[in-house]
Amino acid sequence: MKLLVLIAVLAATALAAEWDPETRLTDNSWPDYNFWSGQRRVAVDQAGRVHTVWYVMNSGLGTYRFQVYYKRFVPGSGWTADTMISADLYAESTFCKYPGVAVDSSGRVFAVWGAGSTDEGDDRVYVKTCLPEGSGNGGWDEASTELSTSGPSQEKACPNLAATPDGHVHAVWLETTTIVYRECIDSVWQGEVRLESGTGYKAYPVVAGGRDNTVHLGWYGRLGGSGFYDVWYKSRTDTTWNPTEEVSQGQRHQMYPSIAVNPVTGNPHMLWQCYEPTGNTRRVVHAWRTGSGWQPRDTVSEPGSEHEQGTGQLVFTQDGRGHAVWAGRSDAWPNVNQIRYSERDANGDWSAAVNVTDTSNTRERPSICGGSDSLPNDLHMVWTDYRMGNSEVYYAHANPSPQPVKERRRRTACSSQLTASLVRGSLMLPGRQEAMLLDAAGSRVIGLHPGENPVSRLAPGVYFVLSAAGGGRPAVEVRRVVVTR
């Protein structure tokens, strides 16, 4: 049977960062959950330590089986053991759930979560801080500090954290239909500010800090008692909260936002999940704000795909590139959610979505952060994964991709400048540069080396050759490869 390879030369495009093989962080007989929604559950300090929080449902703890756990990666020694940081509240017969984490400009770690007398964990909001020390999990406060002041009379949800360059830390959470904000200055928590206290439905507030210490707040909900959900935004400049703005301008439900600030431009960006104007297909979309207001949204997941895309998160690295992760389906995995990723280059172009994971059973709710002082453009991600039949926490690290370039046209397939050709069932790669062969979903299939690469076992379909370029051409080139039999 003859194998044919037809090569069409495409434009050089923004490429996604290269993800290392994922690491399983928990290995327990009970479920470990690393979510909810837009909360940041992973953070990196200036020394390169990676901090992550999650909650467990461990029946071995008795009635109060929901508790908050933590571990860190210490450069040179690896990941530490699982540690219950809500132990003081567990001793007081309290349920603890839904944690978030942030690191301030001095390297102090802040963890926040919901707690209560029932397994809903929605009576109070607590915070605990840590100055990392040694190679273990040391440095945590002995006692948790209650952030909320209204007591169990007001249901609380979705506590979240962010830090600004001035050393301040910003906490937000939801109390019924009110968004509550508190600021930590010099280790002292300031009084509550109650925002957006109207009767309209609200959910999942998210917060980010800007390079000028501006506080950026997002959530989804509606103004009145009925209608579709939209994504909303509010910011604080100095000490003044600015008017609320609608971001999504959607026709149907717009939900589960994530917010991040580009450190190069200072502009806020939001990522969220939306329904198509008709039907039930959900996409991952993005919008950003300039001095003139919110710009038209763009679709990060495949615009024409019928596959469902779930909740995601957005972060910007110090080089000004945006990084979106979410759980979704694709042609490669039409029935199973994988963790997916796309990168926004400095020109505002999103790379094709790729699957970071490639295993059976589903996964959900990824959380992502940027790197340390020495590796500011690295990426760190955690998520909840069910591949082993139990809910566990997984982690992956990515190196930044080569500096992306604007998409542009290159020579057609009849050119003599092709980077690869087929000779008797082998893909011939000229020159001295190695390359990669990706499938249509963006997953790596095989590495390619200069010369002959056997490809006779490839299934028919569309593939892409990613190769380094030279001679004044863009740093990375993409070639489309169609395999037929």
Per-residue pLDDT tens over the stretch 404-457: 433 333 322 223 333 454 444 677 776 656 777 877 666 677 777 777 777 766
Per-residue pLDDT at 414 = 29
CA 55 – CA 31 distance, rounded (Å): 9
CA 38 – CA 271 distance, rounded (Å): 10
What separation in angstroms does the CA of 24 have from each of 133, 212, 423?
A: 24, 37, 41
Stretch 107-119: mean pLDDT:
97
- Amino acid at residue number 179: I
Q: Residue 243: is its pLDDT beyond 60? A: yes
Identify the residue with better confidence: 476 or 18: 18
Nearest to 127 by CA among 189, 74, 78: 189
Stretch 334-340: mean pLDDT:
96
Q: Residue 259: is its pLDDT beyond 70? A: yes
Note the pLDDT tens digit of each residue in 8-31: 334 334 567 889 999 999 999 999
Nearby residues of 184 by Cβ (< 8 Å), 6 or more positions away: 110, 168, 169, 170, 171, 190
Mean pLDDT of the chain: 87
What separation in angstroms does the CA of 251 have from each of 229, 285, 402?
A: 9, 14, 37
The string of DSSP codes covering 181-240 is EEEEETTEEPPPEEE--SSS-EEEEEEEE-TTS-EEEEEEE-SSSSS--EEEEEEEETTE
Q: Is the pTM of this model over 0.75?
A: yes
Calculate the CA 432 to chain-centre distance: 36
Per-residue pLDDT at 470 = 43
Q: Half-sphere exposure of residue 365, counting CA atoms within 13 Å on the CB side?
A: 21
Please list, residue by residue across 175-200, b when 16 or more beta carbons sit within 10 angstroms of its beta carbon and e when fewer do.
beebbbbbbbeeeeeeebeebbeeee
Per-residue pLDDT at 302 = 85
CA 27 – CA 389 distance, rounded (Å): 11
Per-residue pLDDT at 403 = 56
Note the pLDDT tens digit of each residue in 160-186: 999 999 999 999 999 999 999 999 999
Per-residue pLDDT at 440 = 65
Q: Residue 136: is its pLDDT beyond 60? A: yes
- Sign of the torsion formed by the C-alpha atoms of 410, 412, 417 and 422: positive
Lowest mean pLDDT: which of 100-104, 189-193, 273-277, 379-383?
Answer: 273-277
Nearest to 14 by CA among 324, 333, 376: 324
Largest CA distance in the chain: 75
- Sign of the torsion formed by the C-alpha atoms of 90, 203, 240 and 165: positive
CA 435 – CA 421 distance, rounded (Å): 13
Note the pLDDT tens digit of each residue in 346-396: 889 999 999 999 999 999 999 999 999 999 999 999 999 999 999 999 999
CA 382 – CA 325 distance, rounded (Å): 10
Dihedral over alpha carbons 5, 477, 325, 461 (to 10 degrees): -10
- Give the confidence band of 327 by pLDDT, cuts at 50, 70, 90: very high
CB atoms within 10 A of CB 261: 24
Per-residue pLDDT at 475 = 43
Per-residue pLDDT at 146 = 98
Backbone phi and psi for residue 297, each to the nearest 5 degrees, phi listed first? -75, 155
Identify the residue with better confidence: 343 or 433: 343
Residue 253 DSSP symbol: -
- Give the confidence band of 1 by pLDDT, cuts at 50, 70, 90: very low
Lowest mean pLDDT: which of 45-49, 236-240, 274-278?
Answer: 274-278
CA 325 – CA 320 distance, rounded (Å): 17
- Give the confidence band of 244 by pLDDT, cuts at 50, 70, 90: very high
CA 85 – CA 107 distance, rounded (Å): 18
Per-residue pLDDT at 468 = 52
Per-residue pLDDT at 446 = 78
CA 143 – CA 160 distance, rounded (Å): 19
- Measured distance between the N- and C-terminal CA atoms of the chain, rounded to whole angstroms: 7
Determine contact, residues 32/54, Cβ cutoff 8 Å.
yes
- Amino acid at residue number 307: H
Q: Residue 7: is its pLDDT beyond 80? A: no
Stretch 37-52: mean pLDDT:
94
CA 354 – CA 404 distance, rounded (Å): 16
- Give the confidence band of 458 by pLDDT, cuts at 50, 70, 90: confident
pLDDT over 70 percentage in the chain: 86
Stretch 255-271: mean pLDDT:
97
Per-residue pLDDT at 484 = 58
